Amino acid sequence: MATYNGEDFIEDQLYSILQQLDCDDEIIISDDGSSDKTLEIINGIDDYRIKIYNHEKIQKIHKSAGHIYVSKNFEFALEKATGDIIFLSDQDDIWLDGRISRMKLELENHECVICNFRLLGGDEDGKEYYLKNPISKFTICNLIKMPFFGSAMAFKKNLLKLALPFPDNLLLHDNWIGFLALKSSSVSYINEPLHFYRIHSSNTSNATRKSSNPFWYRILYRIDFYYKLFMRLNKRK
């Protein structure tokens, strides 16, 4: 979990996860310099499975720096992970009962799994996000509408070994991991909604919001993204 000024919702999120964990599981939290009560709330929960690390935020690069901050923060957290199975988590969602066990069952036969989720808040409150399996068998379709949300992902540790370190200026860490899984292993999709994805004004990445980047930038980003993906896969052969 990557955190930054998440005092409004972090407690609900953590309790929804903790009640599903075993005694030898862990929650790795990388905080990007929160100035509110985020860390105070986390420490107040006082659970030995929670491990907090302070991440030093990089300097602002360009208008997409918010996404780069998040990717770097997640990279720092993932470097600390010790478990065989890794779940990515936002700081403001709510996991439904049985989410972890359901996704772990799917990982018995796959390297990576994504699940459907319901929106919480906004004009589409209660709506399921995915209407069908978002992953296409055609790479170009996946590049046009990138299908992965980190908050909906879980994967095995060996995929993380392939994904780290992240490329410089990576905007979408979840799609980086997801595309590596598509190219090097197998990805499963669970159509059942397993968590609530909270919509609010402070979302860095909003499931219902279209990109504000110009068309040319989105094209160039995808070309650069796929080139880096190709280089990583060939480097590890």
Domains, the chain, with CATH or none: 2-235 (3.90.550.10)
DSSP labels for 63-114?
Answer: TTHHHHHHHHHHHHHHHH--SSEEE---SS-EEPTTHHHHHHHHTTS-SEEE
Average pLDDT over residues 165-184: 93
Per-residue pLDDT, 169: 84
What letter would DSSP give residue 165? S
Instruction: Name the pLDDT band for 207 (thresholds 50, 70, 90).
Output: low
Residue 30, helix vs strand vs coil: strand
Average pLDDT over residues 1-22: 97
Average pLDDT over residues 207-234: 86
pLDDT digits 0-9 by tens, 77-135: 999 999 999 999 999 999 999 999 999 999 999 999 999 999 998 888 999 999 999 99
The CA dihedral of 189, 93, 201, 172, to the nearest 10 degrees, is -40
Q: Give, for 218, the enclosing helix (H) or strand (E).
A: helix 215-235
Per-residue pLDDT, 65: 59
Instruction: Name the pLDDT band for 212 (thresholds 50, 70, 90).
Output: confident
Contact 91, 37 (CB under 8 A): no
- Strand 27-31's sheet: what is its strand order? 2-3, 27-31, 50-54
Per-residue pLDDT, 123: 84
> What is the percent of the chain where pLDDT is above 90?
79
Please say if the pLDDT value at position 141 is more than 70: yes
- What whole-number distance in Å separates Cα of residue 205 and Cα of residue 149? 9
Per-residue pLDDT, 171: 87
Phi-psi bin for 98: left (phi > 0), alpha (psi -120 to 50), beta?
left
